[in-house]
Amino acid sequence: MTDVQIAPPKVRKPNMKIQFEYFAPQAKQVQLGGTFNNWDPAKTPLKKDREGRWKASLELPAGSYEYRYFVDSDWQNDPRTVKCIPNAFGSWNCVLEVE
């Protein structure tokens, strides 16, 4: 008789809701580009509140993501203290770790 080993079922972690926020009261448009949307900022527009904070929420699975804000057609980093890594264009990308 052979021993049959059964692997435990894989538990898939649920996506995490991540809030992105950028303070730019004078901006006309703020979008978000990153590895989660193939660097297409048009896919993730932020909405402005009365205080000038632009916000968007995304549901992301666990992983590491690079991102930047696209503010009035100009790439900007997250002004909060976040981890950044160099990119191929001589600037920096912000890094988000979702666990």
> Per the structure, how many domains does the chain have?
1
User: From the CB of residue 17, how many other CB atoms can be counted at a distance below 10 Å?
Assistant: 9
Note whether residue 7 is domain-resident: no
Residue 8 lies in a domain: no
Query: Which residue range is the domain that position 89 belongs to?
Result: 16-98
- Report the run of H or E that residue 96 belongs to, with start and end: strand 92-98
* pLDDT digit string, tens, across residues 33-81: 999 999 999 999 999 999 999 999 999 999 999 999 999 999 999 998 7
Give the chain's length.
Answer: 99
Reported pTM: 0.84
Does the residue 87 lie in any domain? yes
* Residue 53, burial from CB neighbour count under 10 angstroms (0-12, 13-18, 19+): middle
